[in-house]
């Protein structure tokens, strides 16, 4: 896929309920749409065990509900790509999102990245970034051939990246902050079957140490004494509670609480750039609210791109 020569109409960053709903509306209206997302369980809905208050839906898991939303968007033609966005260009007429695996260009962009970002880094994380600390195994995994690495996280992104690393590393230490891992069973089973994987559940990555480059990690494991692991690389996929906006690199202003600021149509201060879901302020954190915001932003973007003064109500046809 050459995203630079065949740009999209709409680029959506984030595939949760807001992003998936926006994709359904934009693709249904005939706009070429791509959704870039890190994985099914990297967002708040994907890790929710049970949803019982979404209209028309009886009890099911967040991942099941989100899968239905994504499949509906795909039915109308939306494309979903698994990638991590590390930067954007919002100032040009064409909006660009730069991922580890490619560049995604569109006439409009909808930001729906949620609020599981980390406000506080691990001790030593920033110091050794690029010198053993990485956020992308598919980018840097080959540099750790026959070496020992650590993966910290408990979602499908972390599991998939750990699986990739098993092809290169001698040992992969998988450190999960929870007892269970929020990923599809098939992925977890595949990881557990690997002979070079060591699992640490209910474990906390406390510190990354080194001498010019990473040489060890300190973890606390299930209430035991701190454990020192000799490693050559640390791949971090942990989640927090802050709006995820770091990839914007200051191109959009944020509120005191770190939220993006939008107007009544969910457009930011930059024309044709919208933000929806948990990444914005004054947002009630419910799936139905995020989905509604995604629909409004999608119709607003469609109106703007086609030069209309009013959005067309999207009733069933």
Which residue numbers are catalytic? 136, 139-140
Question: Token pair for residue 95?
Answer: 């909006």
In the chain, the N- to C-terminal Cα span, in Å, equals 32
Residue found by looking up tokens 């999102």 in the block: 97
Sorted by sequence, the CB contacts under 8 Å of residue 3 that are 6+ apart come out as 34, 102, 103, 104, 105
Q: Are 152 and 234 contacting, i.e. CB atoms less than 8 angstroms apart?
A: yes
Question: Token pair for residue 298?
Answer: 């999608």
Sorted by sequence, the CB contacts under 8 Å of residue 22 that are 6+ apart come out as 10, 12, 110, 112, 276, 294, 295, 297, 298, 301
Q: Are 272 and 95 contacting, i.e. CB atoms less than 8 angstroms apart?
A: yes
d(CA 125, CA 235): 10
């Amino acid at each position: 896929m050459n995203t630079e020569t065949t740009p999209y109409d709409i680029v959506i960053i984030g595939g949760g309920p807001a992003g998936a709903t926006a994709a359904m509306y934009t693709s249904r209206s005939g706009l070429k749409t791509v959704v870039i997302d890190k994985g099914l369980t990297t967002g708040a809905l994907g890790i929710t065990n049970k949803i019982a208050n979404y209209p028309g839906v009886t009890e099911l898991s967040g991942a099941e509900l989100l899968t239905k939303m994504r499949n509906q968007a795909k039915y109308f033609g939306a494309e979903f790509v698994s990638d991590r966005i590390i930067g954007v260009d919002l100032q040009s007429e064409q909006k660009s999102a730069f991922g580890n695996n490619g560049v995604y260009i569109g006439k409009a962009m909808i930001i729906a990245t949620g609020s599981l970002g980390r406000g506080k880094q691990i001790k030593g994380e920033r110091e050794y970034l690029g010198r053993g600390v990485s956020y992308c195994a598919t980018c840097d995994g080959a540099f750790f051939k026959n070496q020992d690495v650590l993966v910290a996280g408990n979602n499908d992104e972390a599991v998939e990246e750990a699986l990739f690393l098993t092809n290169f590393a001698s040992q992969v230490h998988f450190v999960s902050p929870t007892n269970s891992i929020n990923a599809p069973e098939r992925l977890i089973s595949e990881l557990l079957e690997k002979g070079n994987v060591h699992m640490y559940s209910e474990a906390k990555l406390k510190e990354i140490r080194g001498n010019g480059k990473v040489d060890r990690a300190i973890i606390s494991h299930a209430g035991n004494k701190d454990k020192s692991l000799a490693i050559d690389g640390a791949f971090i996929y942990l989640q927090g509670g802050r709006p995820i906006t770091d990839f914007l690199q200051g191109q959009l202003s944020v509120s005191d609480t770190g939220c993006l600021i939008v107007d009544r149509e969910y457009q930011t201060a930059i024309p044709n750039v919208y933000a929806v879901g948990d990444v914005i302020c004054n947002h009630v954190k419910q799936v139905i609210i995020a989905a509604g915001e995604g629909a409004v932003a999608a119709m607003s973007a469609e109106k703007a791109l086609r030069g209309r003064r009013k959005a067309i109500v999207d009733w069933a046809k």
